[in-house]
Amino acid sequence: MYNLLLFWSIGKKVYEDNSDNSIEKYSNYYSYYYGNSYLFNRENIRLMKLFYMCFPIYYKRLNNITWDQYKLLFNINDRKERLFYFYISLFFNSSFEDTNNFINNNYYIRI
């Protein structure tokens, strides 16, 4: 289980940095600091930034769903739809597979 608070905080730092090479800079820094170059590669740092951008106000409820579930939600462009699947996953205490099924079965459109 990953520490979602750490991911959210890194995403916030990258978002607030706004420099052209912020993703690469933080990738190099956190890979060195935590010693895990895969976990903090550029793609994951980009996802952490997206995590903060998509869920900036859900600070206290971050750990209620998994990182893999968040990565599913990042692919949903419509903010209302993304929040719908976030809340339905929280309400049902859903697993990754459940959240994926909600999305694939278009529950947002059906309801």
Residues 6+ apart with CB under 8 A from 42: 23, 24, 27
What residues in the chain have per-residue pLDDT under 70?
1-2, 58-59
Tokens of 97: 């597979």
Say if residue 4 is in the same domain as residue 54. yes
Question: What residues make up the domain containing 90?
Answer: 65-111
Say if residue 39 is in the same domain as residue 83. no
Domain count, the chain: 2
Specify the pLDDT at position 30: 92
Single residue among 13, 39, 58 that ends a domain in this structure: 58
Say if residue 43 is in the same domain as residue 92. no
Say if residue 5 is in the same domain as residue 43. yes
Residues 6+ apart with CB under 8 A from 53: 11, 15
Q: pLDDT digit string (tens) for 27-55?
A: 999 999 888 778 899 999 999 999 999 98
Specify the pLDDT at position 20: 87
Specify the pLDDT at position 58: 60
Closest CA to 81 of 60, 102, 65: 102
Return d(Cα 106, Cα 97) in angstroms, integer: 14
Specify the pLDDT at position 59: 62
What's the predicted TM-score (pTM) here? 0.84
Say if residue 3 is in the same domain as residue 38. yes
